[in-house]
Amino acid sequence: MKSTLVLLAGLLMTQTALADNKPIRLATTTSTANSGLLDAILPEFEKDTGQKVHVIAVGTGKALRMGRDGDVDVLMVHAPPAEQKFVAEGHGDSRRSIMYNDFVIVGPASDPAGVAGMNNGAAALTSIAQHNATFVSRGDDSGTHKKELGLWKKAGIAPSFSNYREAGQGMGKVLQMADELQAYTMTDRGTWLASKDKSSLKVLVEGDAELFNPYSVMTLSHAKHPDLNHAGAQVFADWITSDKACHLISAYQVAGSQLFHPDCETRDKQMSQNK
């Protein structure tokens, strides 16, 4: 009887939230905003569901803090260890994979640290530090910053050389700063592809398996935050992992380049090979 009452209460809450048509507050990474991806696909979500999305583009660390504090309804982030810890601590009810791209290290064509052509991120950072070349870090606890710090740790180097700069800014701003300073930085490929025509920097380091960059959608804890728009969050999580969203993400390009690879590409390829 108790389980039936709980189920009925959950259904009533879902119907009420959808009827109220509350905007869904989405905390997501600056890369999904700066790349133009959300501007391209969210109108389709709103058309399909009648739900509005309020996008808050911040670093993954801040997005997770907002989720922990109950300041948003749903998260779309890219820092798997931090995401797993978030769910393990009871702040998230679900975590589902959406898509991936990769990180690259960009820098000036003159390449004073001599890293061009490397496919080992930690080795490239070691050379940048040894040459005391200018490196601009996000410095904002974002997924990109977390990945960068992981590479410094792998290299066995504390990034304290004099030309290491922490910007505390999103990826778009950091790329602008690096271009102005003719410095190195690490960026997700999606934001880079959307920005490269305005930059004199070049991709110098890529192809390291350590630079893999997966994105997930996470719904938040009903128990900790019962007043959130959980119904809308679930609708968004279901849609962003649907076949339609998957193919919209796959089709999104800037200047002829695909920015993100959704999970459906791997699934469809496997199905084709199994025929």
Q: Is 50 helix (H, G, I), strand (E, B) or coil?
A: coil
pLDDT of the chain, 275 residues: tens digit per residue: 443 343 334 444 444 445 467 899 999 998 898 899 999 999 999 999 999 999 999 999 999 999 999 999 999 999 999 999 999 999 999 999 999 999 999 999 999 999 999 999 999 999 999 999 999 999 999 999 999 999 999 999 999 999 999 999 999 999 999 999 999 999 999 999 989 999 999 999 999 999 999 999 999 999 999 999 999 999 999 999 999 999 999 999 988 889 999 998 765 544 444 44
* Strand 212-220, strand 92-107: pairing: antiparallel
Quick one: pLDDT at residue 189? 92
Quick one: pLDDT at residue 265? 73
Token output for 239: 């849609």
Query: Would you list the DSSP string of 143-189?
Result: HHHHHHHHHHHHHT--S-STTEEE--S-HHHHHHHHHHHT-BEEEEH
Which domains does the chain show, CATH number per domain?
2-101+213-274 (3.40.190.10), 102-211 (3.40.190.10)
Query: End-to-end alpha-carbon separation of the chain, Å?
Result: 47
Quick one: pLDDT at residue 22? 87
Token output for 96: 């589902």
Quick one: pLDDT at residue 116? 98
* Number of other residues whose CB lies within 10 A of the CB of residue 50: 10
Is residue 20 within 8 Å of 50, Cβ to Cβ?
A: no
Q: How far apart are CA 64 and CA 101, in angstroms?
A: 20
pTM above 0.85, yes or no: no
